Structure 1
Amino acid sequence: MNADTATPALPRHTARDLTAGGNIAEIELDGQVYTLRITKAGKLILTK
């Protein structure tokens, strides 16, 4: 594959960074606020 036609890498964000080391963060998209939560089992839940 030619480097000029390669797909750029997807942005990656660490959930622990988004929650500043805690278990919860708010994420805003187009004026809507969502809550990102890390469960005790280490899973992610995103709610509106």
Structure 2
Amino acid sequence: MTDETKTPPAEPRVLSSEDLLRGAREVAIQHGAETYRLRLTNNDKLILTK
């Protein structure tokens, strides 16, 4: 296969933080056996923690 025939990688799906949080300041994200927390800070930044 040459470089000319390679399929370009698909663009990642884009989700807005408003859609994820739905008015909350924090959501839990389940990934396999782990739970992560996505939190909106007072400075309007996002923090993802395990």
TM-score by length of 2: 0.73
Partner of 2:44: 42
Shift of 1:32: 0.5
Identity of aligned residues (%): 33
| Alignment map for 1:1-48 (pairs within 5 Å) | 5-48=7-50
TM-score by length of 1: 0.75
Cα RMSD after superposing both structures: 1.6
2:34, 2:9 → 1: CA distance? Answer: 30
Determine helix, strand or coil for the equivalent of 2:38.
Answer: strand
Determine helix, strand or coil for the equivalent of 1:11.
Answer: coil
1:22, 1:41 → 2: CA distance? Answer: 15
**Unaligned residue ranges in structure 2 (runs of 5+):** none
After TM superposition, the runs of 4+ consecutive aligned structure 1 residues lying more than 6 A away are: none
